[in-house]
Amino acid sequence: MRLRRTAVALLLAATAVLTAAPAHGAPAPGTPAPADGGHHRDRFPTGTATTPDGRTALTDARGRRLQLRGFNLDKYAEATAADLDAIAAQGFTLVRLPVSWTRLEPRRGRLDPAELHRLRQLLDRADRLGLLVLVDFHQDVYGPAFGGGTNGIPVWATRDDGLPFTPDPADWFAGYFQPAVQAAFRHLYDDPDLRAWQADFYTRLAGELRGHRSLLGYDLFNEPFGPVDGDPSDPAVLAAASAALEQGRLADLYRRLITAVRRADTRAWLFVEPTVLVGQGVPTRLPGFTDPRPGAPRLGYAPHFYDTAVENGADWDPSDGFVEQYTAAITGYPAAHRLPVLVGEWGPPNSRTPGNRELVRRQVAALDGFAEGWTMWYWCRGTGGYCALDPAGHPAPGDEPAFGPYPAAVAGSGVRTDGGAAGSTVRWTADGTGHESELVLPPAAFPHGADLAVSPAGARVEVEQPAAGRPGTVRIRLPHARPGTPVTVTLTTR
């Protein structure tokens, strides 16, 4: 979500109002196996566990708690195998891959072979690297009928009732409030044929992509929006519209899309997103959902984590309470419905300013406290504009905390990572199983390797130091630790 001008004012005003208001499929034949080695093994979450703090953790086949970290790829079909190689080389385990209904089904009833081939190639590469892929059904301001290029919902599935649309290049988000866009969303949610066509598209795409080891699942609808009945400049109107959408039309859409994907794939995880107001610390009004797959549900919650003022070009003010308010607001819904949290987008458009540097550091620390995974927006080289890399391919100034060490799989709970310029400390509470825990050491954080100390004494430690083009891994086994034993790993940059 990249917000601008009038839309920013509307969302901030609405925020004030709302916060005051009360079967596991088998891989397809010939699917490449993940690369053998290190932290890339066994990363597909097979279940969940409720931690002592009430969170729903993603767990692997051994019951270890997983932390998935990575980046969004671009939304304009420019991602390459080299991007996946570079992400894996830094030790990340997850990518969020935007896909476009427009590009995949430019004409009703036939998926585009070239676009399917591109997606399969990326998934094949991810399979070999051991990366997980979250496929994101992406849209911004509905679709190309409203200036979205080839991103979003097809023109043939756009009904605007002949109402006006006047684009504002300086404030693209305000396009959501244009009468034509409002009408298009209303028809998408309400018209039986559009609902059936969308569900059919999801079923067919899920059928095409299933079987990949790398396929974590689907983010069912990026940054959902909808009709606003009344004047959207009235904060009370916008607040009521967001709540009504989540409780009504959007909830119904998610039920349809969950059913649609499950017709073709019972293995994938399915993530629901709230409206964009949640990114400003407003609790969602979404209901719970039922997963029709055999066995335990594989549903999750995928909010975004953006500060509106920063999105509008400001340097972050650490005294504004944004991180604390967001954290407080984001935890209730997933706790009530036992959903793991995967933050699909976060990160400032310019990490180089002093306040935004601090924002990145605080967001990484906060995410550790409520999310089981995240994908930063996004993996590209540049001198700004959300690019997480500088032109040389190193972490962009200010984004270094996102490239810090992290516990990818832990036999325990209460995991926290505290980082600094000289190194990091990772802590957790052992579960007493004696299973191996694994920490990832990205080369960007430890270009010359790391020294480490582990408590308690008696831990069995195996270290593979990072090298160019390869992350390091620390494997720790506590064969005699009782449940509840505190574990501390101190990593120092050489």
Question: pLDDT per residue over 341-372, tens digit each?
Answer: 999 999 999 999 999 999 999 999 999 999 99
* Helices 235-247 + 249-262 axis angle, to 10: 30
From the list 184, 276, 187, the residue with the least C-alpha distance to 223 is 276
Can you tell me the distance from the alpha carbon of 78 to that of 386, in angstroms, rounded to the nearest whole number? 16
CA-only gyration radius of the chain, Å: 22
CA distance 303 to 483: 32
| pLDDT for residue 452 | 95
The pLDDT value recorded for residue 41 is 53
Task: Examine domains 5-403 and 407-494 and report if their fold is the same.
Answer: no
Helix H or strand E segment including 303: none
Q: d(Cα 47, Cα 342) in Å, to the nearest integer? A: 15
Here the tokens at position 327 are 């954290």
Which tokens go with 243?
Answer: 């709540």
Number of other residues whose CB lies within 10 A of the CB of residue 175: 21
**Predicted pLDDT of residue 410:** 97
So what's the pLDDT on residue 301? 98
Paired tokens of 170? 């300086």
CATH of 407-494, one of 3.30.310, 2.30.230, 2.60.40, 2.40.50: 2.60.40
pLDDT of residue 28: 36
Instruction: Indicate the domain borders of the chain.
Output: 5-403, 407-494
> Using CA of residue 162, residue 163, residue 165, residue 166, what is the dihedral sign?
positive
User: What residues of the chain score a pLDDT lower than 70?
Assistant: 1-42, 279, 421
Phi/psi of residue 452, nearest 5 degrees: -145, 155
CATH number (3.40.50.720, 3.40.50.2000, 3.20.20.80, 3.40.50.261) of 5-403 reads 3.20.20.80
Contact 223, 276 (CB under 8 A): yes
The pLDDT value recorded for residue 11 is 55
DSSP 118-167: HHHHHHHHHHHHT-EEEEEE--SSSSGGGT-TT-SS-GGG---TT-----
Separate counts of helices (H) and strands (E) for the chain: 12, 21
